[in-house]
Structure 1
Amino acid sequence: MKVSNRQLPPGLGRYLAFNPEDIKENPLGFYRRMWQEYGDLVRLPILPNYCMYLVAHPNYIEHILSTHQERYSKPDLFKKPMNMMAGESILTSEGDFWLKHRRLMQPAFHMKHLANLAIAMVSCTESLVQEWDKKSDGEIIDIASETLRLTLKIAGLTLFSTDISDDSSSLGKAFRTGFEFVNYKMNNLVTPPLWFPTLRNLDFRQSKQTLDNLVQEIIDSRRQNSVDSPDLLSMLMAARDEETGEGMSDEQLKNEAITLLIAGHETVASALSWTWYLLGQNPEIAANMQDELGKVLNGSNPTFDKLPQLDYTRRVFEETLRLYPPAWALPRVSLEDDEMEGYFIPKGTIVTLAKFITHRHPEFWENPDEFNPDNFLSEKVNQRPKFAYFPFGGGQRICIGKSFALMEATIIMAIVSQHFKLELVNNHPVEIDPRFTLRPKYGIKVKLWKRS
């Protein structure tokens, strides 16, 4: 576009006017300081010809994600590590390739298909509850690691009809190794190239090969036996392009399956961990949720048809996503010169959409650091700018699994909360670890108390 104004946003006046380790070790604190000092659009020069902009105002975010989304794409610092693990997929691709795959995959996440997946989610959560029933009252567990194990099991069963959460699962082991490697790559700008024979690189390459082989075996088996499984893989294999009638190749299926595993378990697990933490800190809100579960479910498991009635439970989770959004920032790169409300955005600029700041912006949230599910009453939602809250992104590229994630979280919360009271362990340190997703650094320790 033709830019009429070359005024740069406020920000640091010279390169490296800060310690780069500040961003790496405490990015939330650093970005928050920059926002408090300079405002909702901050220019952070890193090196000559390399600059990053911090974005916190809903109007700017809407410009980038929605109204002028064609001027921005995901940057290589995100795409390259993800592509090592999952290849080109809906998460990292752009243009016609992305659009074609989005259209192919979208029907698998329609409500009529999610009803079948809800059954698997309930079954997995029931099995976890049965494990916990064997524990003594007051026994301490790490709810963060337990939730991660549960969501990985749900991801495997809803995707492949295979449990990959068990320590003995070769697929699960390979996936976890690969996932940690992507995490490492994203959090360290300078790392040895993949061909260099470090132990980390060798472990990843072996795990990646194992992961590819095992997923391919599942795909081959499905093609040979034509089993009608109500899982996402079956729906993706059956998907056909409306114009050409073509389906996905085995390579594309494999990439999308691995992508859904990456995106579909860690984010929900992180958010649920913070949900239990916030409920433990706010017993009156936990009691309100318990009242709703008693009235709607009366001790029974949630069914797909009853989920819409769990309005307060859903609002509890949405409020958690506000305070602790798993993907706490969205990176984009400008594909051309741009202008936002009078400020110049040069081509090639990395823009970081800071959900963690926007979701706590006092201009749009009353008592922004307090946990209040009533923030998501419809009348309050309608009063806020659309992009004051965007845990699943926005625009054309809004997360394809949004409804899946909300359904999964609501089911887990309903079943676990009806069977157990989770009491926070005093003096256990709870800190944010913002690497990759916003997870609790030392886990979240709770005492399990069985409900009568």
Structure 2
Amino acid sequence: MASFVIGAAGFGRHISWKDDAVIPPGHQLTFKDALLTTSHDVFIKLLVPSWAMGFTKRFRRARLAFDELQRYLTEMIQERKGSQLKEEDDDLFTGLLSANNDDNLLKDEVKLNDSELFGNIFMLMVAGHETTGHSLAFAFALLALYPDKQEALYQHIKRVLPDGRIPTYDDMPSLSYSSAVYNETLRMFPPVHSVPKLSAENTTFTITDLNGTKRIVSVPQGIALTLAVPALHYNPKYWEDPHTFKPERFLGDWNRDAFLPFSGERV
């Protein structure tokens, strides 16, 4: 499912459960299989030297998938460059190509070549695949464990989309409970569990323990710090009853500085 989401949002390739089953001419894998395999085996590509990629069946499959995905992306780059941008072409891949257009570049900006375009969109895919997949899995599990929240979500969607149509981007602001469910999932199971930082200067932190006692901690310049995201997300100082699945906490005012599922991104 995550691959389908990334395929559509990242590449403009709308893949269904049954479609994309036929390997097109000039290819050895479908786009779906190439995308899924590269997402799962990215660490093989990173850790195994190129001369060793033929040693095992899985290594060879991963090598083929990366070659196939690059071939697909090269074809898509050439196709998009040779066609007019359509209103429905609002995926990340098209956005990168549009931003890389000579007419849209600022005076001192350097144009990306096809290899750099491929690298950027691939990193977006890798960064989005596992986080999307895991977050969806946790969301479905939590809704199964809390059937009252599942019913509330269902009724909310029915009110926003009474005719049962597929939602569009314009419907997203109205699907507030859907966003709340996903935010609560990200609070309880954040994709990013720690954020590394480096102290740029000598400073101090004033902290408060569970007993309400305050103390000052000195932080010298150059020391490595780690923000523990789960500890923040389960801190009762910021989240009432933090171990309970409560999407409603994201419907009103909530502490955005205490919510860091993807590092410092504001939601």
Q: TM-score range by the shorter chain?
A: 0.7 to 0.9
Partner of 1:160: 11
Question: Which amino acid in 1 is paired with 2:105?
Answer: D
Structure 1 residue 236 displacement after superposition: 1.7
Higher relative contact order (CA 8 A, sep 6+): 1
Which of residues 219, 224, 241 in structure 2 aligns to 1:343? 219
**Aligned equivalent of 1:389:** 259
**Aligned counterpart for 2:69 among listed residues 205, 211, 220:** 211
The Cα of 1:245 is off from its aligned counterpart by 6.0
Deviation, 1:368, is: 0.9
CA shift, 1:156, in A, is 1.8
Counterparts of 1:346 and 1:295, CA distance in 2: 53
**Contact 1:278 1:371 (C-alpha < 8 Å) held by counterparts:** yes
Aligned residue identity for 2:137: S
Q: Tell me by how many angstroms 1:204 deviates.
A: 3.5
1:185: how far off? Answer: 8.2
Distance 2:75 2:13 in 1: 12
Alpha-carbon distance in structure 1 between the residues aligned to 2:157 and 2:65 = 42
Contact 1:156/1:164 (8 A) holds in 2: yes
Task: Please tell me the residue identity of whatever aligns with 2:180.
Answer: R
Distance apart, 1:252 and its partner CA: 1.9
The aligned counterpart of 1:288 is 152
**Pairs within 5 Å for 1:148-297:** 149=1, 151-163=2-14, 166=20, 169-183=29-43, 193=49, 195-196=51-52, 198-199=55-56, 201-223=59-81, 225-229=82-86, 230=89, 231-239=91-99, 240-244=104-108, 246-297=110-161
Q: How far apart in 2 are the matches of 1:201 and 1:312?
A: 43
Secondary structure of residue in 2 paired with 1:353: strand
Given that residues 194 and 201 in structure 1 are in contact (C-alpha distance below 8 angstroms), is that contact kept between their aligned partners in structure 2? no
In structure 1, list runs of 5 or more residues that go unmatched: 1-148, 403-452
Distance 1:172 1:213 in 2: 13
CA distance in 1, matches of 2:164, 2:185: 25
C-alpha change, 1:241 and 1:312, in structure 2 (3 Å) is same
1:333 Cα offset (Å): 5.7
Q: CA deviation at 1:289?
A: 2.0
Q: CA 1:182/1:328 → structure 2, altered by over 3 Å: closer, same or farther?
A: farther
Q: 1:177 Cα deviation (Å)?
A: 2.9
- CA RMSD of superposed structures (Å): 3.1
Aligned to 1:359: 233
SS at 1:208 equivalent: helix
How has the CA–CA distance of structure 1 residues 345 and 232 changed in structure 2, closer, same or farther, with 3 Å as cutoff? same
Separation in 2, partners of 1:377, 1:234: 33
Distance 1:305 1:218, change over 3 A: closer
Residues 237-261 of structure 1: per-residue CA shift (max 9 Å, x gap): 1213333365432122111221222
Specify the alignment match of 2:214 in structure 1.
none
**1:318 positional shift:** 0.9
Are 1:195 and 1:201, in contact at CA under 8 Å, matched by a contact in 2?
no
State how far apart, in whole Å, the 2-side matches of 1:212 and 1:320 are: 34
TM score, norm. by length of structure 2: 0.73
Displacement of 1:266: 3.0
Supply the AA of the counterpart residue of 1:296.
Answer: V
Q: 1:163 to 1:284 in 2, by over 3 A?
A: closer
Q: Could you say what secondary structure the match of 1:325 adopts?
A: coil
Instruction: For residue 214 of structure 1, report the CA deviation from its aligned partner.
Output: 2.2
Instruction: Tell me which amino acid in the other structure corresponds to 2:41.
Output: F
Matching of residues 420-435 of structure 1 within 5 Å: none
Query: Which one-letter code corresponds to 2:151 in the other structure?
Result: A
Structure 1 position 216, deviation (Å) = 1.3
Q: Which runs of 5+ in 2 are unaligned?
A: 23-28, 206-217
For 2:210, the equivalent position in structure 1 comes to: none
- Distance, in Å, in 2 between the alignment partners of 1:344 and 1:245 is 38
Given residue 235 of structure 1, which amino acid in structure 2 is its aligned partner? Answer: G
Question: Does the 8 Å CA contact 2:7/2:13 hold for their aligned counterparts?
Answer: yes
2:261 partner amino acid = P
Native 8 Å contact 2:199 2:221 kept in 1: no
Per the alignment, residue 327 of structure 1 pairs with 192
The whole-number CA distance in structure 1 between the counterparts of 2:230 and 2:162 is: 36
Amino acid across the alignment from 2:4: K
Q: Distance between the aligned counterparts of 2:139 and 2:67, measured in 1?
A: 36
Q: Which amino acid aligns with 2:142?
A: L
Q: Contact 2:229 / 2:260 at 8 angstroms: preserved in 1?
A: yes
Distance 1:222 1:377, change over 3 A: closer
Q: CA deviation at 1:268?
A: 2.3
Percent of aligned pairs with the same amino acid:
28
Q: For 1:291, what is the secondary structure of its paired residue?
A: helix
Question: Is the 8 Å Cα contact of residues 3 and 35 (structure 2) preserved in structure 1?
Answer: no
- The number of residues matched between the two structures is 236
Q: Check whether the contact 2:192–2:263 (CA below 8 A) recurs between aligned residues.
A: no
Q: Structure 1 185/329 Cα, relative in aligned 2: closer, same or farther at 3 Å?
A: farther
1:306, CA displacement in angstroms? 3.0
